[in-house]
Copies of this chain bind each other. A is one copy, B any other.
Amino acid sequence: MTDDTKPLKRPARRGFLKASGAAVAAGATLGAALGTSAANAAQTSSGSGHKPAHDGTHADDPQFAVEPFYGVHQGGVVTPQQAHTYVAAFDLTTTKRDDVIALLRAWTDAAARLTRGQTAQPLPTSDDKPAPDSGDVLGLGAAGLTITFGFGPGLFTKDGKDRYGLAGKRPAALVDLPRFNGDQLIPEKSSGDLFIQACANDQQVAFHAVRQLARMGYGNLQMRWGQAGFLSGPKGQTARNLMGFKDGTNNPPTKDPALMNQFIWAGDEGPAWMKDGTYAVFRRIRITIEHWDQMEIGFQESVFGRHKYSGAPIGKKNEFDELDLDAQDKDGNSLIPDNSHVRLSTAATNNGQRILRRSYSYNDSTNFYIERWPPWRQETEYDAGLIFIAHQRDPRTGFIPINEKLAKLDMMNQFTTHVGSAIFAIPPGAKEGSFIGAELFEA
Contact = CB atoms under 8 A, between A and B. Distances in A.
A335 B205 contact: no
Interface residues of A, number: 102
The interface centre, meaning the residue of A83, A202, A297, A328 with most chain B CB atoms within 10 A of its CB, is A297
A381 B223 contact: yes
B296 A140 contact: no
Nearest to A203: B230
Contacts of A141: 234
A367 interface: yes
A242 B24 contact: no
Interface string A34-49: 0000000000000111
B222 A379 contact: yes
Nearest to A132: B293
B17 A363 contact: no
Interface string A189-215: 000000000000011110100010011
Contact of A50 (B22, B202, B234, B328): B234
A289 interface: yes
Nearest to A314: B16
- How many subunits of this chain does the assembly comprise? 2
Contacts of A405: none
A364 B368 CA distance: 15
A242 to B, nearest CB: 6
B226 A297 contact: no
Interface stretch (A145-153, A304-312, A395-403, A410-418): A304-312
A382 interface: yes
Contacts of A308: 131, 135
A365 B131 contact: no
Contacts of A384: 207
The interface centre, meaning the residue of A11, A202, A234, A379 with most chain B CB atoms within 10 A of its CB, is A234
A296 B188 contact: no
Contacts of A218: 290
Interface in A273-309: 289-290, 292-298, 301, 307-309
A55 to B, nearest CB: 15
A21 B309 contact: yes
A335 B234 CA distance: 50
Contacts of A297: 8, 124, 127-131
Contacts of A184: none
A310 B23 contact: yes
A162 to B, nearest CB: 25
B366 A223 contact: yes
A228 interface: yes
A53 B367 CA distance: 39
A241 interface: yes
A100 to B, nearest CB: 20
Contact of A202 (B188, B207, B232, B310): B232
Nearest to A139: B234
A309 B135 contact: yes
Contacts of A203: 83-84, 203, 230, 232, 363
A207 B127 contact: no
A225 interface: yes
A204 B230 contact: yes
A49 to B, nearest CB: 7
B134 A316 contact: no
Given A17-B317, A22-B317, 15 more contacts: A16-B314, A17-B315, A19-B317, A23-B309, A47-B234, A127-B296, A128-B298, A134-B292, A136-B241, A138-B309, A141-B234, A223-B366, A225-B380, A228-B365, A364-B364
26 contacts: A10-B298, A15-B329, A17-B315, A17-B317, A20-B310, A20-B312, A20-B314, A23-B309, A24-B310, A130-B295, A134-B244, A135-B240, A136-B244, A137-B240, A138-B244, A141-B234, A188-B366, A203-B232, A204-B230, A211-B382, A218-B290, A222-B379, A222-B380, A223-B380, A223-B382, A224-B380
